[in-house]
Amino acid sequence: MNRVELAAHLVEIEPLRHTPAGLPVLRMRMEHESQVLEAGLSRKVTLGLNAVAFGDPALALAKSPVGSQVRIVGFLAPQRQGSDRLVLHIQQIVQAH
């Protein structure tokens, strides 16, 4: 299963665009920081990742200012065919502030 649930801050948001078929698309960069328990030890996790949203999630996130915290659900996919770089595809916004 390829499912990601993440709370993160929006650090860069590109202008809302549309695909040739008219579907809204929004590309952004997100940063996450948390403490997790691994093998009984606390570990600090800090990461940044590129993300993309299509349709209604794109429209909703386009209204969010840079610095907003969001909680999303999505999946990871290669940036392009054969690439090792991953992009988070946002399918659902659970919470936005």
Total structural domains within the chain: 1
Range of the domain at 71: 4-96
CATH of the domain at 51: 2.40.50.140
SS3 of the chain: CCCEEEEEEEEEECCCEECCCCCEEEEEEEEEEEEEEECCEEEEEEEEEEEEEECHHHHHHHCCCCCCEEEEEEEEEECCCCCCCEEEEEEEEEEEC
pLDDT tens digits, one per residue of 39-91 = 999 999 999 999 999 999 999 999 999 999 999 999 999 998 988 999 999 99
